Structure 1
Amino acid sequence: MVKIGNIDLPDFPLLLAPMEDVSDPPFRAVCKANGADLMYTEFISSEGLIRDAAKSVQKLDIFEYERPIGIQLFGSDVETMGACAEIATRANPDLIDINYGCPVKNVACRGAGAALLQDIPKMVRMTEAVVKATHLPVTVKTRLGWDESTKNILEVAERLQDIGIQALTVHGRTRVQMYKGEADWTLIGRIKENPRIRIPIFGNGDIDSPEKALEYKNRYGVDGVMIGRATIGYPWIFNEIKHFLKTGEHLPAPTVADRVAVCRQHLDFSIRWKGEITGIFEMRRHYANYFKGLDNFKAYRMQLVQAGTYTELLRILEEVSEQYAEAELA
């Protein structure tokens, strides 16, 4: 069993990465149903939360079926992050997570996210402010460093543990790398080998198959893995990894009927959460991912993104299920 503060997780838990414009409650719902052990909200701007900005406040929405669930915060001001942690705590998550890993320009160039990797003393002060502002476990997600010459994650892990974080997730790239190239987990493994480190260490980056999850588990000794891009349109990956770790065998790939069923569940949650108009609109970004790899799917994808009513979408999805089921049987 892996423990984060008072949260009990299974051995080698699988975490859903917080992804902007992806990891909203509807997406988290289908990932939870398909085996995710710990999930996080999309990252929330501390400045937006302090200003009571509608988009930031809405990201605080969490539901009982999601637990354990963490609210992830990012910001550039130490005092604001502390105040923001108090607000997030009132939303009653299971933990608070701090984002020191987001590499995108409009976050990092404002001194937030991965930018803090250039100022470790400030990162420590900010983390301490958040730890003091909440009774909940505080965790951190970060990267190896800002660039090749500043891979300071070994120092960061010790210093953040010393001021009270309860778990650390490390993405195996620098900020400069963004999402390019192959993630390097070598330093993540070295954190786990450090006898001073007592908290759970989770690895993140390029986990896209059961085989890779098992290989990295064995090679680097991490307590669990966080999965991001490989879950988009494919929430089945969580249960596929669990089954493979347990049995050494693969679960059958989802059929087109399975894809349609989970896509419809996602759509239903989206409409329940944001209403029919917004729920349908925000679902449009997901169809290509759910049906990736299907031959001649472009015409159906265009119909799905152009459909304006729930009834019309159900009709199209039913037609997809029937058309491709015939092809699977052929």
Structure 2
Amino acid sequence: MNPGIQIGDVQVPGRVLTAPMTGITDLPFRRLASRLGAAYVATEMVAAAELARARPDVVRRAAVGEGLPLTVIQLVGGDPAAIAEGARMAERAGADIVDLNFGCPAKEVTGAACGSALMRTPDLACRIMEAAVGATSRPVTVKMRLGWDDASRNAPELAQRAEEIGVRAVTVHGRTRQQFYTGKADWAAVAEVKAAVGVPVIVNGDIATAEDARTALAQSGADALMLGRGVYGRPWLAAHLERALADGTVLREPDREERLAIVVEHLRASVAFYGLPLGLKMFRKHLGWYVEQAPWPADPAARRTAKARLCRLDTAGDVEAALAELWRPVTYSGNSAVDIRQQLAEADAA
């Protein structure tokens, strides 16, 4: 079995971690991925200052629920005092680990001197880390990028300072902020961070298959890996990659019935958590990814048509019925895509 990694006094029961993602890793998703075997799924990015003010939507992003192997709350902010209060609140809420975001490239985040903008102000980044470490007894971790741009790849230096402050693990996305998500993640560059520190290092970026996972770990020398966009429409991915790393198990994607059950479970959990109509609205992005990732309809155009139709439905019951119809066994022929599009058009017109 995979022994996992030690982060401070927390034993993470695996080496495949799931990143904090705004609008993605809410409590319904975290519960589902955990039930499917994920060892570590972080909350959405939580604005520390707004958490301290108890803004309802921000508090909801940090929601803690039963049935999770770990609770990891990620904070973002540029004010050390707000980060300290956020860390205290996270611990009181039951966080096992408090993560700090120094990696988000979004303009609305960097424009507020937060996220990956902190890699341009390492002294402020260090004050933020000191504030968090001093405010909580829970292990503090940091997620960063290689640097702001190619001229300032300072991840090794910042990671060294983080370790000196008392940060217990560092995750590095293998791109600079200026790359956003273009190009290919540079897993080998993360090896410089691994060589610079003694705390666990986690490699992140463009990991979606077992081959990716093995290559990212080999090139980076990292202790663990973190999944991001690879889990879109595949909440089972972390558990599958964990098995592949542990014993070389060949991954088998869920079959038709298993996928449908997962999608419906996720839909119902979202509606139960948020209520209607918000629960259905929050689920639609996941719904689109589930359809995109499914191998049917076989024709991409038919899949896009199905996704558009499903995302226009405004009751959970209608979505479940349409999913059951889409998921039903179909014998594909040479003109199956035309047939499916015609069926969908006829259903819309009915």
Q: What band does the TM-score fall into relative to the shorter chain?
A: over 0.9
Percent sequence identity over aligned pairs:
34
Which residue matches 1:318? Answer: 324
Question: Once the two structures are superposed, what CA deviation does each residue of 1:212-238 show, in whole Å capped at 9, x if it has no partner?
Answer: 101222232211100000101012322
* TM-score (structure 2 length as normaliser): 0.88
Which residue matches 2:74? Answer: 72
Deviates more, 1:225-234 or 1:312-321: 312-321
AA partner of residue 260 (structure 1):
L
Count residues with an aligned counterpart. 325
The answer on whether the counterparts of 1:41 and 1:60 sit within 8 Å (CA) in structure 2 is yes
- Using the alignment, how far apart are the partners of 2:249 and 2:75 within structure 1? 38
C-alpha deviation, 1:246, in angstroms: 3.3
Which residue matches 2:345? Answer: none
- Using the alignment, how far apart are the partners of 2:304 and 2:97 within structure 1? 41
Q: Does residue 42 in structure 1 map to residue 44 in structure 2?
A: yes
Q: Does residue 113 in structure 1 map to residue 115 in structure 2?
A: yes
* TM-score (structure 1 length as normaliser): 0.93
**Unmatched runs of 5 consecutive residues or more in structure 2:** 337-350
What RMSD in Å do the two structures reach over aligned CA positions?
1.8
Which residue matches 1:301? Answer: 307
- Using the alignment, how far apart are the partners of 1:40 and 1:63 within structure 2? 12
C-alpha deviation, 1:327, in angstroms: 4.6
C-alpha deviation, 1:255, in angstroms: 2.4
Question: Once the two structures are superposed, what CA deviation does each residue of 1:173-211 show, in whole Å capped at 9, x if it has no partner?
Answer: 1111111111112231122234xx221110001111101
Match of 1:103 among 86, 91, 105: 105
AA partner of residue 58 (structure 1):
R
The answer on whether the counterparts of 2:31 and 2:68 sit within 8 Å (CA) in structure 1 is yes
C-alpha deviation, 1:303, in angstroms: 3.2
Show the 5 A alignment for 1:154-165.
Answer: 154-165=156-167
AA partner of residue 168 (structure 2):
Q
SS of residue in 2 equivalent to 1:41: strand
C-alpha deviation, 1:277, in angstroms: 2.0
Match of 2:26 among 24, 27, 51: 24
- Using the alignment, how far apart are the partners of 1:216 and 1:208 within structure 2? 11
The answer on whether the counterparts of 1:67 and 1:94 sit within 8 Å (CA) in structure 2 is no
Q: Does residue 227 in structure 1 map to residue 197 in structure 2?
A: no
Change (3 A) 1:327 1:62: farther
Show the 5 A alignment for 1:160-239.
Answer: 160-194=162-196, 197-239=197-239
AA partner of residue 150 (structure 2):
E
Show the 5 A alignment for 1:262-277.
Answer: 262-277=262-277
Deviates more, 1:48-57 or 1:172-181: 48-57
AA partner of residue 138 (structure 1):
V
- Using the alignment, how far apart are the partners of 1:175 and 1:95 within structure 2? 25
